[in-house]
Amino acid sequence: MANRSGTGPTRRASDRGRYGRLNRERVLASALDLVDREGLSALSMRRLGTELGVEAMALYRYAASKDALLDGLVEALYLELEERLGAEPVLGAEAAAPAWRTELHRIASATYDICLAHPRAVPLLATRMLAVPLAQRPLAVLRDHERVLALLREAGLDDVRASAVFRAFTAWLLGYVSTELRPMVDNPDEPDPAFRLGLHRMPSQELPLLRETAAALAERGGPEGLAAGLDALLDRFLAAE
């Protein structure tokens, strides 16, 4: 129920649901689970309230709007990244590459794994970052930015060079993940590779190269492709010094 000024709910709804009293972590975890199962289109305050066994109104204590809930999903992904990085061993002096470079690879690899674990939430990493100014992004996102910039400073890059590499690193990582997750299969029940990819739908005269390479494009590059591209990117910037 909205108040007369239209600023939002006024009646306090109970936040004790089927899993006990709510907290922000539980709300975001349930929202992410719902998106993992049914996609972003299924997410609403009402549906999430049903999942948690509370009225939708109770959720406004933890996310003031649908946009805030979407930002919370981004936060949940980056918190999972922090948790994963904290649990994985950090390679020391025995690593072949400098520590800062090894750590960038570790961040990229962990981000890749998390995105593949939550593919339906991945579009938010682009759409919400396009909508939310830097200072208003979740703290977990800003800590990730800080982490990468600190490594680039460790590499000896000044502000201008570090900013350029930061942008390139982010663009490569998120672009690579987005390419990996693009749907390619037209009919998963079709045993014939050409029909499974729907090549019969592509005009052969106009798209000969795409038809020839579609099977290879449908294969994921995997973490090896991610690492190779990251090395090429870093080599390019370091060579310009």
What pTM, to 2 d.p., does this model score?
A: 0.86
Q: Using CA atoms in the order 198, 203, 207, 210, what is the torsion angle rounded to 10 degrees? A: 10
Helix (H, G, I), strand (E, B), or coil: what is residue 218?
helix
What pLDDT shows up at residue 97? Answer: 84
Architecture category of domain 93-239 in CATH: Orthogonal Bundle (1.10)
Residue 238: predicted pLDDT? 85
Q: Where are the alpha helices (DSSP H) in the chain?
A: 24-38, 45-52, 66-87, 99-117, 124-131, 139-154, 159-181, 193-197, 208-218, 222-239
Contact 53, 19 (CB under 8 A): yes
Query: CB within 8 A of 16, min separation 6: which ones?
Result: 22, 54
- Domains of the chain, by residue range, sit at 93-239
Task: Copy the structure tokens of residue 221.
Answer: 């590059």
Instruction: Name the more confident of 89 and 110.
Output: 110
pLDDT at position 20 = 59
Percent of the chain residues past pLDDT 90, beyond the cut? 84
Q: Give residue-wise pLDDT tens across range 95-152.
A: 678 999 999 999 999 999 999 999 999 999 999 999 999 999 999 999 999 999 999 9
| pLDDT for 13 | 54
The widest CA-to-CA distance across the chain, in whole angstroms, is: 65
What does the pLDDT read at residue 240?
Answer: 66
